Amino acid sequence: MKAKIELDNYEYGIIIRSLKDLRESQEKQEKTTEPIDELLLKIIKVYEKFKLDKPKVYDVRW
């Protein structure tokens, strides 16, 4: 899958916090967190690759 998205550091933080909250909710309900964990890792890898210093359009391939 190929997707392009424009994010700044603030928007990136919103996504990460939301996924962490969802993950915690799943844990409390004793549901699997594996899909959320995988998505978090993908997003973090993109952040590390581009460092999100300023808004850009990132070409992400999964």
- 7-19 mean pLDDT: 87
Domain spans, the chain: 2-53
Please tell me whether the overall predicted TM-score, pTM, comes out greater than 0.95 for this model: no
15 vs 47, which has greater pLDDT?
A: 15
* DSSP annotation of 33: -
Minimal CA–CA distance to 50: which of 14, 19, 9, 15?
9
26 vs 56, which has greater pLDDT?
A: 26
**CA-CA-CA-CA torsion for 31, 28, 13, 60, nearest 10 degrees?**
-10
Check whether 61 has a pLDDT greater than 70. no
pLDDT at residue 56, as a whole number: 53
Residues 6+ apart with CB under 8 A from 50: 56, 58
